[in-house]
Chains A and B, each alone.
Chain A
């Protein structure tokens, strides 16, 4: 083997180690995990996964997370598309300031907004719903999506819009038939980042839910039972939370590269 492969291999091993350890743990019993060091599960067990797929408090956690994350992604993209189009195509009073102000929303820590959101949603009856978490996350995701989409849209020449109008396309028809297909990479990248933020964000999701919309991560923090910590179960749940993200990354991997090339990711 050539020497130049050594560093990348070491690097990848280093990156994969915690993920490997998590996967290995998920197939061990809690007893084995606590008993000491073992590279492979001594006795393979699928009990951890069986519990998750049969116990409603577990699998509802997944369903809740996926529900509000999807809802958030849809809302964020739907709101960001027209906003990004305006920023990329029109000049209006204070457009640059507004664009910057939008981005500053991302600079505030989520914790700052937890209390006002909690109080507001309780007052209007949104507390513990998917919409509550989705809207709260939109505060962070809409600016990001606008920023990413604006970059992709500005890469499409204005002459394309004009050509479509000349050809007889009405604005909505042009937007959906001509414009969207040409920025679909941008939509993919923006959706990916919305998904990822919403999927890993815990503080708001936990604060704004109690039972019906409780995310999987919140369920995971409550695994201390009478038998002590169920580490194997926790590891299995952890493995399952990685999967949706991995699937989304697989779908947008080419677009992400394109987004980097355009300097907007």
Chain B
């Protein structure tokens, strides 16, 4: 099964919600839509599901044009961020409902519902109503409905966002196996870069109604092809700063520069923007982290085994994220180190150049 978008757009009145987007999504792995709230993930999912009309462009499923086909006829599943089940039906009836509508035989429905309930550990709750379940169970019920139906495409719109941390981790581990081998195109929207990395597969980065980059998740994490994509795919936000290339050295400030190697060395002299991920800026030095940054600590946070520090260097704010516990003191001048190998360089127009 494949799901292909060709130059689709969405407009409401004079506002453009989705700028022309082309994507080819395939079955067999997760297709993650990653972007902040309001970046157009849900809008794009609604377009693919046929819940909202296309302003222009076409959608193909397995090569067939479904742009004009109603939602009911697309044979898809959708799990919302909020736990949406039919409140007046039991869990069994909820899972069975798409199968009943499709006119499946009673005995087969029974089997399919029980199979889905077993996978999602809902067997003891089959006769209860959704409002008697916990949030995690309600969302599992919605997921069971999606897997019981053998749909061509499954859309998961931030399905874990409203769950607590433990449940989220538990369900996230389960998700890839739930849909493995079902032949459906799985589209997963999330605002958390870590989720995209954990789920693997392919990722499309969304920003302000634009799909900025699409490719295998690990590739686009390593090599975001522009500055916007780099910013979308980083949490905490990626550190950026204007730099100047002079000869073989990259200069961040008059007294801070480093020797360039690899492709970066071949760049023409001039202005660039550098970007380095927070976890590549550390308070301890290793032989590789040659560049020392001196800054004043503004905010320090300790989250279990990781320490993060926001520090200012001149007029720029940077973030460092490191494993281990570091007793930062606010207002203190501290040294941080980075390996220039980890720096990404972008041309003034935002393209990745090295």
Contact = CB atoms under 8 A, between A and B. Distances in A.
Interface of A: 157, 159-160, 162-170, 173, 178, 181-182
B134 interface: no
Interface of B: 46, 49, 51, 70-72, 75-78, 80, 82, 84-88, 97-98, 101-102, 142, 145, 149
Closest CB pairs A-B (n = 10): A167-B98, A168-B101, A181-B88, A165-B71, A166-B78, A159-B84, A159-B80, A163-B84, A168-B72, A162-B51
Given A162-B49, A166-B76, A166-B78, 20 more contacts: A160-B84, A162-B71, A162-B80, A163-B84, A163-B85, A165-B70, A166-B49, A166-B51, A166-B71, A166-B77, A167-B101, A167-B145, A167-B149, A168-B72, A168-B98, A168-B102, A169-B101, A170-B72, A182-B87, A182-B88
B188 to A, nearest CB: 16
A181 B129 CA distance: 14
A167 B97 contact: yes
Nearest to A91: B12
A166 B45 CA distance: 12
Contacts of A178: 86, 88
A47 to B, nearest CB: 50
A170 B71 CA distance: 9
A163 B76 CA distance: 10
B80 A163 contact: yes
Contacts of A169: 72, 101
Contacts of A167: 97-98, 101, 145, 149
A165 B72 contact: yes
Contacts of B49: 162, 166
A254 to B, nearest CB: 16
B101 A173 contact: yes
A188 to B, nearest CB: 14
Given A165-B72, A167-B149, A182-B88, A159 B98 contact: no
A261 to B, nearest CB: 16
A163 B95 CA distance: 12
Nearest to A178: B86
Contacts of B51: 162, 165-166
A159 B45 CA distance: 13
Nearest to A173: B101
A16 B102 CA distance: 57
Contacts of B101: 167-169, 173
Contacts of B102: 168
Contacts of A173: 101
A178 B98 CA distance: 12
Most-contacted residue by chain B among A164, A173, A181 (CB, 10 A): A164
A121 to B, nearest CB: 41
